[in-house]
Amino acid sequence: MSILIKNASTIVTFNDCDEIIQNGDLLIEGKEIVAVGRDLSLTSEQTQIIDARGMVVLPGLVNTHHHLYQTLFRGLPEVQGMPLFSWLINLYEFWRHITPDAVYYGAMVGFSELLRTGCTLTTDHHYVFPKGQATDLIDNQITAAQEIGIRFHATRGSMSLGKSDGGLPPDEVVQDAKTILRDSQRLIERYHDPSPYAMTRLALAPCSPFSVSLDLMRQSQILAREKGVMLHTHLAETIDEETFCLERYGRRPVELMEDVGWIGPDVWFAHAIHLSGREIALLAQSGSGVAHCPSSNMKLGSGICPTTDLVKAGAKLGIAVDGSASNDGSNMWEEVRRAYLLNHLRYKEQGFSAYETLKCATRGGADVLGRSDTGRLEAGKAADIILMDLKDVAYAGCHDPLVSIVCCGNHSLVDTTIVNGKVVVRKGQLITQDTEEIRKKAHQVASEIVQKERGLKGLAEN
């Protein structure tokens, strides 16, 4: 199947030359971009033509951190306004009831939102495995990704340090290291595809310094490097985390990562807010990546990621929606806008341009996930592409198309999303799945879980 995108007002390539093409075309053959330029011709009579007049063409956005199951726990009044530790302690009580269906439909909801807002490659960090439930929850996410048509970098998350051992989570949602490592190896061997244009990859992702043992961190990195997969965890998100690490281990969070071998180009961290100058330099020099989660960091009052300092130091920086319960949406355009605004709040006139922000959300995110085959628009890269239609009154009077799509607009839905050479969103609507059916089933599953926990809490109080 060939697709020819014709007459685009602006094509932003994010290639090595930072090339921007006006009134350009882009040709796709199968899953690959084969040409970007002007006056490109049809390759066959079966070529689908997309008229892109008045549109901006970009690489698909890359979401570098998420908790898809949390899409079923949005807007809970029990946790609104809480900082991270209190927020987690209260939500664990709901999450201990999650089921395979909850994981599947939570993923479907999140994937639907991501695709409609221009995300073509997403990761996820699933670390809750309640006792008594099936352990093949990551399999359910991968099935959902395959059915809906999104490029997916799943992670096998884990929690092994329960409350009885001095950790934050309740014992009923943690697992022992042997179980975690055995399932991690199973998932890698079954699903991880290291080839270019891979639709499914795996990483190992112990949750955080306050919910896993250091021994599990060490064993996870040994297994990951034996199998050639990446590593991911939360890091330096809050002062509470820093205090926990100092009191328990006598080390700052980044220092702990050094101790257990968790530094390098095969590692990326979520948040990375509370960093010293030495730690920023270390992340950059080691090739470690950072997933910046602006909405979550604002809602939980965690702080502002030192984004400009990281990029100036040479660190890899991507943008992420984080779990929907901590931002209430899987909306990549909102994260792009908020990343831009938060950066200017912190750095003022030294802040990122619209172009630099979008580069973090596309090529930057792909680099964080070790994907040099996507995040750019050039021949030989994956056909992961989005089209933004600027023919709307919300963009009138703006004289820069990139400023328009970062700062203007009344909604975040893209016109078209193409993943691996296949159109999956057209005119803002998902065409691979019925979103109304997803909504109904997901909300039913979510309501049953929330009602169950509220009922148990009511019994305990009486």
Question: Whole-model pTM above 0.85?
Answer: yes
Write out the two tokens for 94: 């709901």
CA dist 216 → 47, 125, 255, 256, 391 (Å):
51, 16, 16, 13, 52
| Per CATH, domain 61-368 is 1.10.287.110 | no
Task: Determine the Cα–Cα distance for residues 412 and 310; give it in Å rounded to an integer.
Answer: 27
Superfamily grouping for domain 2-59+375-430: Urease, subunit C, domain 1 (2.30.40.10)
pLDDT in tens, the chain (462 residues): 799 999 999 999 999 999 999 999 999 999 999 999 999 987 777 899 999 999 999 999 999 999 999 999 999 999 999 999 999 999 999 999 999 999 999 999 999 999 999 999 999 999 999 998 777 999 999 999 999 999 999 999 999 999 999 888 999 999 999 999 999 999 999 999 999 999 999 999 999 988 999 999 999 999 999 999 999 999 999 999 999 999 999 999 999 999 999 999 999 999 999 999 999 999 999 999 999 999 999 999 999 999 999 999 999 999 999 998 899 999 999 999 999 999 999 999 999 999 999 999 999 999 999 999 999 999 999 999 999 999 999 999 999 999 999 999 888 999 999 999 999 999 999 999 999 999 999 999 999 999 999 998 877 775
CB-based contact 321:293 (threshold 8 Å) = yes
Domain with CATH 3.20.20.140 in the chain: 61-368
Task: Determine the Cα–Cα distance for residues 445 and 72; give it in Å rounded to an integer.
Answer: 8
| Residue 134 CB neighbour total at 10 angstroms | 12
Distance in Å from the first CA to the final CA of the chain: 63
Task: Determine the Cα–Cα distance for residues 423 and 415; give it in Å rounded to an integer.
Answer: 11
Per the rule left: phi > 0, alpha: psi between -120 and 50, beta: everything else, 149 is left
Residue located via tokens 């199951």: 69
Domain with CATH 2.30.40.10 in the chain: 2-59+375-430
CA quadruple 109, 355, 276, 297: dihedral sign: negative
Task: Determine the Cα–Cα distance for residues 340 and 329; give it in Å rounded to an integer.
Answer: 18
The DSSP 8-state label assigned to residue 34 in this structure reads E
Residue type, 73: F
